[in-house]
A and B are shown apart, each in its own frame.
Chain A
Amino acid sequence: MGITFAVYGAAEANERLIPFDLIPRVISAAEWRFLERGIEQRVRALNAFLHDIYHRQDIVRAGLIPSAMVNGNSAFLPQMMGFDPPRGVYSHIIGTDIVRTEEDGFFVLEDNLRTPSGVSYMLENRETMMHLFPELFAAHRVAPVDRYPELLRQTLESVAPSGCDGEPTIAVLTPGIFNSAYFEHAFLADQMGVELVQGSDLVVEDGALWMRTIRGRARVDVLYRRIDDAFIDPLNFRPDSLLGVPGLFDLYRAGRVTLVNAPGTGIADDKAVYAYVPEIVEFYTGEKPILKNIATWRCSVAEERAHVLDHLDEVVVKEVHGSGGYGMLIGPRSTRQQRAEFAERIRANPGNYIAQPTLALSTCPAFTGSGVGPRHVDLRPFVLVGDRVRVVPGGLTRVALKQGSLVVNSSQGGGTKDTWVLED
């Protein structure tokens, strides 16, 4: 049971279907208030961390984070040093992955500060549910999520370059139709009423960014780019990139256009840096972290590595830069041979791995082949940071549809659910 809707259509290898489970995941108003406070605290601290890392590096001077972990990190962009983005915001659009364990409440699993995707599913899932079950919405007070595109637009407008007069022009930059998140790029541009552009539509000329329109060139002030740092500008980063715009980064550094998110934000959502986020929150906010981290062993540290190698059958090992559920070892589900392979990889390149305990992830009811059954879920609320922090009450709930599976990624058999935040 359950329905399947076309993400992009179907059939071609570059397009997938993501199953949608009909039973909504419900979050109470009190739980949401807690989450909202925790997320806001965390994204403010991480933006302060990014500002610090690209300026004085006080946190390194204070001895809280090893210099090598920052300055030797492949996600660190030296080209960003000393640059002040509008309003001091680096990561404007964030998808914080949160899990719940049975006893201990909410934990942050990952801070996605680069170009998180999935918000279109949150919106489409709600549309689908309201279409199929209007009576449920009449009977429950479910907080609406459909303001997201408007909030996104406000956020983007609020970080326009200081020299921009009048209403800023926004565009969404996509790598093109073969990107797996293309549907979302098009969806967001459409919902905000802005142009969806590709690198070939843009040109840097006369100290400004322009898009080529049927009326000639039109200025762009804020570019919500959905391509990775390395590809945004072949003159400054990967020279073989055809997706970006030559000279874009220089224009950005000159304060003539705003890139959202800023280049170089990956340094703050790196899995090795993740282990330091509680210290980061305290260092910049002076407050105790509201949301907890999952205990994380850094394989780069000798004692911690020894613990991981001794407990490979209990822990989850992840690559520092991995994503999408690839390159993981799930200890309790692994074979002796897989564990031996991972042990070798960890010894060969310890800095590339972290490990976390296997979590007793919370479950939600879901439709399965044999009726309703419990399935593990996570939650990705979407946060916007501009002139202020905006969080829509909801998020993307991903569900591991295979019985017992802990991996919710769509590439590994995961599906999605509508997420209901109830109002008091």
Chain B
Amino acid sequence: MLGRTASSLFWMARYMERAENIARLTQVGHRISLTPDSTGGYREDWKSTLASAGWLAVFEARGGKLTAAEVQRFLIFDRDNPSSIRACLETARNNGRAVRTALTREMWEAMNSTWNEFSAIDPAGVDPGAMAELLDWVRQRSAQFRGAMLGSLLRDEGFHFCQLGTFTERADDTARILAAKCNVLLPANEALGGERNQHQWDTILRLVAAAGAYRYFYRDRLRPRQVAEFLMLRPEMPRSLRFCSDFIAPALGALAAMTGGGASSVPLGEALAADMRQADLDTILRGGLHAFLIEFLARNDVIARAVGSDYYFD
């Protein structure tokens, strides 16, 4: 397999995963904007939505107004925002197209038809009321793509590069959302476990599609400690940091076994997975939640770069 093919598979999977995350983020932002606030108006919390996506600074630098219409357009349709849903779908599909022969027909058709249908949408013609439906559709298509990949792709190197892309991105997305919402989980003047901000914790769970799973798993009301544990350390939660690192390490191992490579990526992946398995919430909180997340993001990124150098991506 060409190094370029591996790179394209990795980034294709990453961008399909990111499209889904941005869709969910935008939907949650929309939901918040419909919730009454204490002053009698509505909670226009688009600022925190952009912060969760990591695009607040760029948006403000461009002089964007924090209105529902502008933020949604920025997150969904903007051609210059490399993480807009549009850009994600296009980049994923261009990567897939460059390595078309390494994909199955099912994967390609799932991705190609998504891009074709999406790119035919005129942003100005989308009724604000239909936005939720559009975002649902994006999430469904991302799931369809993943399903096609899991159901049809040969379990060779290409599969593992796709999986690495998916879980590297997912770990990154979950960690970023938590980092952006740290102050809500753990307000500076309040010990973790305070009972305010119930709706904010609910929001965090929704951002990672975990609200229902949380209730089912804990059979309990929302407690910030449990929310943090669920999204970082629970191996049962498929978007938790622990889950992702548990997936990345074996994928790196499988690639190394197949190719005889992986000299720098395998130890890094194993170390992160081991640390996440042994991690303890109290220790994390003592050292600072935000610092822990920032370190996690950095290590996740270092692993992705090591994969690139181990397998001749450049």
Chain A residues at the B interface, C-beta cutoff of 8 Å: 6, 8-12, 176-177, 182-183, 186, 189-190, 195-198, 200-201, 211-216
Residue in B closest to A8 when the chains form the complex, CB atoms: B97
Cβ A214 vs Cβ B311 within 8 A: yes
Cβ B116 vs Cβ A195 within 8 A: no
Distance in angstroms from A341 CB to nearest chain B CB is: 39
Can you report 17 A-B residue pairs in the complex whose CB atoms are below 8 A from each other? A9-B97, A11-B119, A177-B97, A189-B101, A190-B100, A196-B100, A198-B98, A200-B4, A211-B2, A212-B2, A212-B3, A212-B4, A213-B312, A214-B1, A214-B255, A215-B260, A215-B261
Cβ B101 vs Cβ A216 within 8 A: no
Cβ A216 vs Cβ B2 within 8 A: no
Residues of the B chain whose Cβ atoms lie less than 8 Å from the Cβ of A198: 4, 98
Partner of B101, one of A10, A12, A190, A200: A190
Known interface pairs A9-B115, A11-B116, A190-B100. Does A201 touch B2 (Cβ–Cβ under 8 Å)? Answer: yes
Distance in angstroms from A202 CB to nearest chain B CB is: 10
Known interface pairs A186-B100, A215-B259. Does A177 touch B94 (Cβ–Cβ under 8 Å)? Answer: yes
**CA A152 to CA B154, docked complex, whole Å:** 25
Residue in A closest to B108 when the chains form the complex, CB atoms: A9
Known interface pairs A212-B312, A214-B311. Does A176 touch B98 (Cβ–Cβ under 8 Å)? Answer: yes
Residues of the B chain whose Cβ atoms lie less than 8 Å from the Cβ of A211: 2
Distance in angstroms from B182 CB to nearest chain A CB is: 38
**CA A9 to CA B110, docked complex, whole Å:** 12
Cβ B2 vs Cβ A9 within 8 A: no
Residues of the B chain whose Cβ atoms lie less than 8 Å from the Cβ of A195: 2
Main SS of the interface on chain B? helix
Residues of the B chain whose Cβ atoms lie less than 8 Å from the Cβ of A212: 2-4, 312
**CA A8 to CA B93, docked complex, whole Å:** 11
Extra 13 A-B pairs, beta carbons < 8 Å, given A11-B116, A186-B101, A214-B3: A8-B97, A9-B115, A176-B98, A186-B97, A186-B100, A190-B101, A198-B4, A201-B3, A214-B2, A214-B6, A214-B312, A215-B260, A216-B312
Cβ B157 vs Cβ A214 within 8 A: yes
* B72 contacts A by Cβ under 8 Å: no
Residue in B closest to A176 when the chains form the complex, CB atoms: B98
Residue in B closest to A218 when the chains form the complex, CB atoms: B2
Residues of the A chain whose Cβ atoms lie less than 8 Å from the Cβ of B27: none
Residues of the A chain whose Cβ atoms lie less than 8 Å from the Cβ of B21: none
Max chain A CB contacts within 10 Å: which of B97, B112, B255?
A: B97
Known interface pairs A182-B97, A214-B311. Does A201 touch B4 (Cβ–Cβ under 8 Å)? Answer: yes
Residue in A closest to B93 when the chains form the complex, CB atoms: A9
Residues of the A chain whose Cβ atoms lie less than 8 Å from the Cβ of B260: 215
* 7 residue pairs, one from A and one from B, having the closest CB atoms: A190-B101, A214-B311, A186-B100, A212-B3, A177-B97, A11-B119, A9-B112
Cβ B116 vs Cβ A9 within 8 A: yes
Cβ A197 vs Cβ B120 within 8 A: no
**CA A189 to CA B259, docked complex, whole Å:** 22
A-contacting residues, B1-30, CB 8 Å: 1-6
Residues of the B chain whose Cβ atoms lie less than 8 Å from the Cβ of A11: 115-116, 119-120
Residue in B closest to A211 when the chains form the complex, CB atoms: B2
Residues of the B chain whose Cβ atoms lie less than 8 Å from the Cβ of A177: 94, 97-98
Residues of the B chain whose Cβ atoms lie less than 8 Å from the Cβ of A176: 98
**CA A195 to CA B98, docked complex, whole Å:** 12
**CA A215 to CA B262, docked complex, whole Å:** 10
A-contacting residues, B77-136, CB 8 Å: 93-94, 97-101, 112, 115-116, 119-120
Distance in angstroms from B133 CB to nearest chain A CB is: 21
**CA A216 to CA B261, docked complex, whole Å:** 9
Residues of the B chain whose Cβ atoms lie less than 8 Å from the Cβ of A9: 93, 97, 112, 115-116
Distance in angstroms from B159 CB to nearest chain A CB is: 13
A-contacting residues, B242-294, CB 8 Å: 255, 259-261
Residues of the A chain whose Cβ atoms lie less than 8 Å from the Cβ of B99: 196
Residues of the B chain whose Cβ atoms lie less than 8 Å from the Cβ of A182: 97
Distance in angstroms from B103 CB to nearest chain A CB is: 10
Residue in B closest to A215 when the chains form the complex, CB atoms: B259
Partner of A10, one of B5, B100, B116: B116
Partner of B2, one of A12, A190, A213: A213
Distance in angstroms from B108 CB to nearest chain A CB is: 9
**CA A211 to CA B3, docked complex, whole Å:** 9
Residues of the A chain whose Cβ atoms lie less than 8 Å from the Cβ of B312: 212-214, 216
**CA A182 to CA B101, docked complex, whole Å:** 12
**CA A198 to CA B94, docked complex, whole Å:** 15
**CA A151 to CA B260, docked complex, whole Å:** 34
Residues of the B chain whose Cβ atoms lie less than 8 Å from the Cβ of A215: 1, 259-261
Residues of the A chain whose Cβ atoms lie less than 8 Å from the Cβ of B115: 9, 11
**CA A15 to CA B78, docked complex, whole Å:** 22
**CA A250 to CA B263, docked complex, whole Å:** 36
Distance in angstroms from B121 CB to nearest chain A CB is: 11
